[in-house]
Amino acid sequence: MSPALSTALNEPMDKIARGCEILCMSGFKTPKNIKTFHQLLGKLPGPDADAFGAAEAREPQLTKPPGSLGRLEVIAHWLAAWQGQHPPEVENIAVRVFAGNHGVVAKGVSAYPPEVTAQMVANFEAGGAAVNQLCKAVGADLQVIAIDLDSPTADFTESPAMSEADFMAAVRRGMEAVPESADLLCVGEMGIGNTTSAAALAMGLYGGDAKDWTGPGTGVAGDAFSMKMDAVGDAVRQHAVHLADGLQALRHLGGRELAAMAGAIVAARMHRVPVLLDGYVVGAAAASLAAANPSALDHCMAAHVSAEPGHVRLLDLLGMPPLLDMNMRLGEASGAVLAVSLLKSAAACHSGMATFDEAGVSDKDAATH
């Protein structure tokens, strides 16, 4: 990677037959176990230097002062580099919401019962959720992938959330959900109890105390909030010996929807599809990939910072400044889809603006002194 490309991409955006491997359309094999998942993470494709170079060359020719569009310019270059094409496009937008249930809910960590997960999936499918309206507004394709809702993960305060087989099955579900033809992937989730999982995973990966990472989620308070913090701390202590490995941390402390989101993020990288990450739960799943390979999220941007207090801390540690801060904490990819308009605008300005020559406008270098 050229120094200019490395700098631009990291500042300020710094950043399935079951049981066997299958050759995907883009030429990568879906992993059959954690060992082969690690191997895949070790050979992720990098950004396209030619596409980035073309974007970088066009930018100073556009009819505006250099840098005057701020982060929109960085976004346009990032899109070109990770789509592997210039000019970049944001037309075919895939929104994938993964749903799963968590055994730790039995510890009283949520204000809602686990049945709400399936009820919300039905609401998504009927078009009645917030994310449905946001997708309509930007012309995005929404699919909801519910994973074994009748079989919650194990209570991770007592045992690993998932067996390796269950974990990898969920990873493959996520990988299969990503269309190669997409210009952009927005990743989101639905799962009662999954902010408890996110807090435990963040604490397991980055340390600190349960109070540093645990928030109200769906609105728990008082004794329920104390039980939630206790569950987070107990889980991290229970699985401490496994948490140096990001993928094992995700298996022990995550959920099926978190594993699927990790799979989707990696598949997007292999397909050259840039990714917008939603909130805290998505960020925690993504952090497990960064723990395994520090460059694993270079094709991702944090769409927003949620009101869940651990999210801002997590994004800071990941080196991912959010695009938006709207005090949202809904999940279901709502923040990611809301940020799509920024990416559309960045691509439109980069591709559609006239150059100084085309507009007959003198640039600053043509000024006489």
Domain ranges in the chain with CATH number 3.40.50.10210: 93-345
Task: Give, as one character, the DSSP assignment of residue 354.
Answer: P
CA 31 to each of CA 37, 150, 179, 299: distance values in angstroms, whole numbers, following the listed order: 5, 25, 18, 20
Q: Residue 26: what pLDDT?
A: 56
Q: Supply 268's token pair.
A: 């997007």
CA 59 to each of CA 68, 306, 341, 368: distance values in angstroms, whole numbers, following the listed order: 11, 32, 20, 23
Domain ranges in the chain with CATH number 1.10.1610.10: 3-88+348-366
Q: Which residue has the tokens 């082969």?
A: 36
Q: Supply 100's token pair.
A: 């799963």
Q: What is the pLDDT of residues 288-314, one digit of tens each?
A: 999 999 999 999 999 999 999 999 999
Across 144-176, b (16+ Cβ under 10 Å) vs e yields: bbbbebeebbbbbbeebbbebebbbbbbbbbbb
- Residues 341 and 304 sit within 8 Å (Cβ to Cβ): no
Band (pLDDT 50/70/90 cuts) for residue 28 is confident
Q: What is the pLDDT of residues 224-263, one digit of tens each?
A: 999 999 999 999 999 999 999 999 999 999 999 999 999 9
Which CATH class for the 93-345 domain? alpha beta
332: annotated active-site residue: yes
Across 70-80, b (16+ Cβ under 10 Å) vs e yields: eebbbbbbbbb
Listed in order, strand segments (DSSP E) in 82-180 are 93-99, 141-146
Q: Regarding the domain delimited by 3-88+348-366, which CATH topology (the fold level of the hierarchy) does it fall under?
A: 1.10.1610
Choose, from 56, 59, 308, 332, the residue flagged as catalytic. 332
Amino acid at 300: C
